[in-house]
Amino acid sequence: MTNRIRLEPHRTLRLLSALTGLSIALGACTYTNGEVVTASVPDDHRHRHPIAIEEARRSVVIFVGEGRGGLSPSQRADVIGLAQIWIREATGAIVADVPVDTPNARAAASSFEAIRAVLAAGGVPPRGITLHHYHPDDPRTLATIRLSYPRIAAVAGPCGLWPEDLGPSSLNNRHSENKEYYNFGCATQRNLAAMIDNPADLVQPRPEAPAYTARRTAAFEKYRKGESTAPTYPEAEKAKLSDTGK
């Protein structure tokens, strides 16, 4: 003979409600969308958007008209500046992209010969210049001469990434914890990387320059005579206010 337990209707509803609430609570604790990366995002913007050192390209664009070859004074100054910077920071040859089969192709060829002469006068050897012909994609645009070379540069970013909402949501706890949003500090890091003159300064200090012998000799001579070694500035009195009327 089997014993059966008979539950009253109101107790049955109460039990079902309790089980339903428990299942919802457990489901909320274990729910995931398969891509939870918020916990791996660093809180420091310097770690979230680090400045990296990589090889980039520096370029100068020379506009060439159809009826004029050679270089204008401002274009000549740009090429001279490119040659000076190339000697200091380049890691490869200068690539000159010169257009062909365009209305200004003959003028561009003449301008390239002038560019080659200016670069040679600036210290760039012949093997440091590589000629590359190209056909413009859009024949309506003015074909230009582009001079570019590889160099070591500091970069950061990309910026403008928003992997999560700024406001509160069920999947975002950083808002309630008052933490930085992902894109915070990216523009600052990118601008700082663009202002760095020598990327090697981020890795190691520069060697000390030799001492200025003439200044050191003069200071030692004053010290031997018992005089003050502090420098004197003859124009220091000019910055003082006048005593007239006191």
Which contiguous run of DSSP H or E holds residue 27? helix 9-30
Whether 143 is in a domain gets the answer yes
**Span 191-236, pLDDT tens digits:** 999 999 889 888 898 888 888 888 889 889 999 999 888 877 777 6
- CATH classification at residue 97: 3.30.1330.60
- Would you say residue 75 lies in a domain? yes
pTM of this prediction? Answer: 0.60
- Find where tokens 């990589």 sit: 54
pLDDT (tens digit per residue) in 78-108: 999 999 999 999 999 999 999 998 989 999 9
Q: What is the pLDDT of residue 32?
A: 45
CA 132 to chain centre: 28
Domain count, the chain: 1
Domain that holds residue 100: 55-153
- Tell me 140's DSSP state: T
Show the CA angle centred on residue 187, arms to residues 181 and 190, nearest 5°.
125
> What would you report as the CA-atom Rg of the chain, rounded to the nearest whole angstrom?
35
Residue 35 — pLDDT band, cuts 50, 70, 90? very low
- Please state the φ and ψ torsions of residue 145, each to the nearest 5 degrees: -100, 125
